[in-house]
Chain A
Amino acid sequence: MISIRGVSKTYGGGLRRRKRALDGITLEVQRGEALGLIGPNGAGKTTLLSCLLGFLRPERGTISIEGLPPDDLAVRAKTGYMPERLGFDRDLTGGAFLAQHWRLAGGDPGETAAQAAAAAARVGLDGDVLRRRLSGYSRGMLQRIGIAQATLRDPELLFLDEPASGTDPLGVATVRDRIFEAKKRGATIVLNSHQLAEVEKVCDRVVFIDGGRLTQAQTLRGDAPASRRAMLRVPPEGRQGAIAALAGAGFIAEEGADDALRFPVENEEALARAVKALALADVPVLEARSSADLEDMFRRRGSP
């Protein structure tokens, strides 16, 4: 679906200092896949997204979407995009903004008002809010209307840059629901976000970009998901017994700074086995969960 081969991009030149933002990125995104882009600030994630959207042209390498250049109108017709900071005309109302993007996306002009209202309703914005100017919207409301415009006409390709940034928990859940909805209908999603928990919830695969290079990749769902990290919380008096019981079941647990026990597991079933081992050793389990531990990608950054 999306093919990125050896893409490099440098900013500056002339009198300005040159800065290499992307350095030989090669990546394939399959149709219907949700790919997460993570990495530290200034890593090149937004530049990669800009190249994927055709705003920037790589100096080296190629990007194709279904065999076409990213700025081909056929690709544009099935693309939804939400930038980190929404660009809009300050005098526009929320309703007019959605209506404008519905028309720009090639939607039936006769359905404009109904589709704009429906898109807004899906992100929890009602008619009163739509009649207000965007310049008076809070950050959270802008994010909501941003995801509403990005998902207008059910695009096959969805590029999202920090979609839940600045939103309250309900807004985060709303954005997540829209992403799940897009996934369910088979959309290919590229998500750039620092909210690792959200990335883990919605993405099938995550790539770590650092210094313009793709340094790590982790499959979260699918045929060969990467190992996860389990977290168990037990009463303080049972901690040593828990470590021994887990060792007996083949898990090497470490005590974290927050007094929780952490250890790698292959999958959710392995976590269930660990909980069962603690139950058999009469150690009460207060909390048990496992995650892909995307933070570990940041911790491994720079290590050989």
Chain B
Amino acid sequence: MIEMVRRFLRQRLGSPAMVIALGILAVLTAMQAAVSNAEQAFGTGFLAILLIGAGAVSKDASGGALQMILVRPIRRTSYLFGRYLGILLVFVIYVAAAGALTPLIARIVPYPSPGRSASDVSFADLGRGAASAFLNCLLFAAIILFFSTFLRGYADVLALILLQIVLGLLPQIPQAWVKRAAPVLRDNVLPYVDWREVLRASGAMGEPVGRWALAVTVFLVLAALVFSRREFSYGHD
């Protein structure tokens, strides 16, 4: 699995385009943290997850590199969870970069609201924001990984976006049973957890956290099941 993590890091961080894109996102995140609430600055983290996770498995499969790896004495689950850990590690690097840039940017960027200064950046808030983003990443990365085990190209991230849109639109459908089912579906497939509140040591063992843990586990188990059973070919000759 370590080899697989190493390979994922090399693939992502070895790409200048990816490094530049993540760098820009980190700067944007840091600017937001510097000029407004540091706790809420990691909203761009979702874009970072999409960038990092896109084609996590599917691109390997279509390029034939996966087949060459799977012929080696390595379990499919080791490959899969190596990719998952890789996504998380690259995300941590992005979060760390954004966190490190925040105090620097706070000294450069003029504050829009009078009375605020660089020293107003709260490292506790920044830490909570970063931790929240990471915990959200655990679920989104698991969903991308699941979709990547059977979809092609970058359809995995498109599927995640589509899933969010569909779950968001469901309550608008007038049918009574859909109205009843929509929140249940939303709370279990893409549960929202207010991590900043949880990290303030309130509700750590609450129902939303339980649903989130269950969703992460289910998506990872489903990804492993689909990937273990999937067939790979490099031609129909």
Interface residues of A (CB under 8 A from B): 11, 19, 21, 41-47, 50, 53-57, 71, 73-74, 76-77, 79, 81, 83-89, 91, 100-101, 103-106, 149
Contacts and interface: CB of A to CB of B under 8 A. Distances in A.
Given A76-B72, A84-B235, A100-B7, 6 more contacts: A73-B74, A83-B67, A85-B234, A87-B68, A88-B68, A106-B72
A159 B17 CA distance: 37
Interface stretch (B58-66, B130-138, B160-168, B190-198): B58-66
A71 B73 CA distance: 9
Given A73-B75, A77-B73, A83-B64, A91 B237 contact: no
B72 A105 contact: yes
A10 B180 CA distance: 43
Main secondary structure of the interface of A (DSSP, over half): loop
B233 A47 contact: yes
Contact of B3 (A55, A74, A103): A103
B236 A55 contact: no
A44 B73 CA distance: 26
A21 B236 contact: yes
B64 A47 contact: no
A106 B71 CA distance: 12
Contacts of B73: 73-74, 76-77, 104-106
A237 B14 CA distance: 69
Contacts of A91: 10-11, 14-15
B67 A45 contact: no
B138 to A, nearest CB: 26
Q: Give the one of A46, A54, A100 with max B CB within 10 A.
A: A100
Main secondary structure of the interface of B (DSSP, over half): loop
Contacts of A21: 236
A8 to B, nearest CB: 14
B228 to A, nearest CB: 10
A57 B236 contact: no
Contact of A87 (B7, B66, B233): B66
B20 interface: no
B67 A42 contact: no
List the 8 closest A-B pairs by CB distance, nearest first: A87-B64, A46-B237, A104-B72, A87-B65, A76-B73, A77-B73, A55-B232, A81-B71
Contacts of A74: 73
B1 to A, nearest CB: 11
B43 to A, nearest CB: 30
A42 B236 CA distance: 7
Contacts of A103: 3
Nearest to B11: A89
Contact of A89 (B65, B75, B231, B236): B65
A57 B237 contact: no
A35 B69 CA distance: 24
B75 A87 contact: no
A83 B237 contact: no
Nearest to B4: A104
Q: Give the one of B3, B71, B73, B235 with max A CB within 10 A.
A: B71
A104 B14 contact: no
Nearest to B3: A103
A83 B14 contact: no
A55 B230 CA distance: 8
Nearest to A85: B64
Nearest to B76: A71
Contacts of B71: 53-54, 76, 79, 81
B21 interface: no
Interface in B59-101: 63-75
Contacts of B232: 50, 55-56
Contact of A47 (B65, B75, B237): B237
Contacts of B69: 104
Contacts of A88: 63-65, 68
Contacts of B67: 53, 55, 83, 87
Contacts of B3: 100, 103-104
A125 B101 CA distance: 45
A46 B70 contact: no
Interface in B6-28: 7, 10-11, 14-15
A86 to B, nearest CB: 7
A101 B14 CA distance: 18
Nearest to B232: A55
Nearest to A55: B232
Contacts of A44: 237
Contact of B236 (A11, A84, A149): A11
Nearest to B65: A87
A159 to B, nearest CB: 8
A87 B231 CA distance: 17
A91 to B, nearest CB: 5
Contacts of A83: 64, 67-68, 234
Contacts of A47: 233, 235-237
Contacts of B14: 91
